[in-house]
């Protein structure tokens, strides 16, 4: 008979493949009592460890699927006191497995968010929302063109703090992470792209509490929001002129991320966009005027990108013109 100490983290070096159906059946029969006891004692971490360490693709196993449905829609939903020991941060893998089933995931995401809006802070919930193209729910979260924070989340919930709002506050650009926007921006509608662009321009990228590494990722997101390129061009110009340039004879290469390097990257961003040839030529001229020793590394990278968008003869002519200009000797 299989036994498990409720305080013991069970682990196996080899997971049981989903192709071994008989082994799955025998093991799940042995584990039913163990899972029941773990659930009764609110040992969610042990449940997560058992499921993830024993089974390969646990979402395919009907017993696991049914058990997790009971966990989320009955055990946690009916008795709110149970939520005090359930953590969105610590138990994301359980939520991911529960939402993995392609036939049930969208309905489950909707129901989870109805039970507690805090589930929106689960990365996989955000992805499922994007894939489902749930226009109504996403639009609701981004309609004010402000980042998502715990404070905003409480406001959306009638100024009521739920049991699951016990995680470190994370500022999200709209309703999801910059990483998800990098990979899945194409799932957004044109209107959603507009809202997200404004959120990035006017809130997320303006916030001093957002790390430079996340800001650089957000700038990359702007390249994927193609319907709002005109807005991004204006934003780039504003940022590039907003921060005073450092001395032209000082190089910052290798000094790490700072507000000036952020401005330089914003200056060079238009070169990375898929624009008309006439716009590319204007960008090249602008870069040649603003280049100095401190931003030369970023501008040279932008020039390399532009060179791939123009025929060789045309780019060579522009580059030779720059070499002969008054600006070139100042670079040292």
**Domain contains 104:** no
**Domain contains 41:** yes
**Domain finish residue from 98, 119, 143:** 98
**Domain contains 160:** no
Could you tell me the residue range of the domain that residue 93 belongs to? 1-98
Total count of domains within the chain? 2
The pair of three-digit structure tokens given for residue 182, joined into one six-digit string: 């990098």
pLDDT at 179: 96
pLDDT at 261: 82
pLDDT at 7: 45
The β-bridge partners of 172 are 148
**Domain contains 165:** no
**Domain contains 32:** yes
pLDDT at 256: 52
* Sequence-separated (6 or more) residues with CB below 8 Å from residue 173: 147, 148, 181, 196, 199, 200, 203, 204, 218, 221
In this prediction the pTM is 0.83
**Domain contains 186:** no
pLDDT (tens place) for every residue of the chain, 332 residues total: 444 554 444 444 556 666 667 777 788 788 889 999 999 999 999 999 999 988 888 998 889 999 999 999 999 988 777 777 899 999 999 999 999 999 999 999 999 999 999 999 999 999 999 998 778 899 999 999 999 999 999 999 999 998 889 888 889 999 999 999 999 999 999 999 999 999 999 999 999 999 999 999 999 999 999 999 999 999 998 887 764 444 444 444 444 556 778 888 888 999 999 998 889 999 998 888 888 888 888 988 999 999 999 888 888 888 888 887 776 666 65
Instruction: Report pLDDT digits (tens) over 96-119.
Output: 999 999 999 999 999 999 999 999
**Domain contains 328:** yes
Neighbouring C-beta atoms of residue 303, cutoff 10 Å: 20
Interior/surface letters 226-258, b for 16+ CB within 10 angstroms, e for the rest: eebbebbbebbeebbeeeebbebeebbeeeeee
**Domain finish residue from 82, 98, 114:** 98
**Domain contains 309:** yes
**Domain finish residue from 57, 83, 98:** 98
């Amino acid at each position: 008979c299989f036994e498990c100490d409720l305080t013991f983290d069970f682990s196996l070096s080899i997971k049981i493949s989903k192709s071994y159906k008989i082994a799955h059946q025998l093991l799940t029969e042995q584990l039913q009592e163990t899972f029941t006891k773990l659930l009764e004692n609110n040992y969610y971490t042990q449940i997560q460890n058992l499921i993830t360490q024993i089974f390969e693709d646990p979402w395919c196993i009907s017993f696991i699927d049914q058990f997790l449905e009971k966990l989320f829609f009955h055990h946690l939903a009916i008795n709110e006191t149970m939520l005090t020991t359930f953590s969105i941060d610590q138990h994301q893998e359980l939520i991911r497995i529960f939402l993995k089933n392609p036939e049930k995931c969208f309905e489950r995401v909707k129901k989870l968010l109805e039970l507690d809006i805090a589930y929106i802070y689960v990365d996989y919930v955000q992805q499922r929302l994007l894939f489902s193209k749930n226009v109504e729910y996403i639009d609701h979260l981004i309609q004010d063109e402000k980042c998502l924070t715990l404070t905003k989340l409480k406001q959306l919930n009638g100024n009521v703090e739920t049991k699951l709002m016990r995680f470190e506050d994370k500022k999200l650009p709209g309703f999801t992470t910059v990483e998800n926007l990098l990979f899945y921006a194409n799932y957004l509608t044109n209107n959603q792209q507009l809202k997200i662009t404004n959120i990035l321009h006017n809130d997320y990228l303006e916030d001093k509490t957002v790390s430079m590494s996340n800001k650089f990722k957000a700038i990359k997101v702007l390249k994927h929001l193609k319907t709002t390129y005109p807005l991004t061009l204006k934003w780039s110009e504003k940022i590039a002129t907003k921060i005073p340039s450092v001395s032209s004879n000082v190089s910052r290469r290798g000094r790490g991320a700072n507000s000036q390097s952020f401005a330089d990257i914003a200056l060079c961003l238009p070169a990375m966009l898929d624009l008309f040839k006439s716009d590319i030529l204007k960008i090249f001229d602008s870069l040649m005027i603003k280049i100095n020793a401190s931003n030369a590394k970023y501008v040279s990278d932008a020039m390399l990108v532009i060179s791939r968008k123009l025929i060789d003869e045309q780019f060579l002519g522009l580059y030779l013109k720059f070499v002969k200009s008054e600006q070139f000797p100042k670079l040292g």
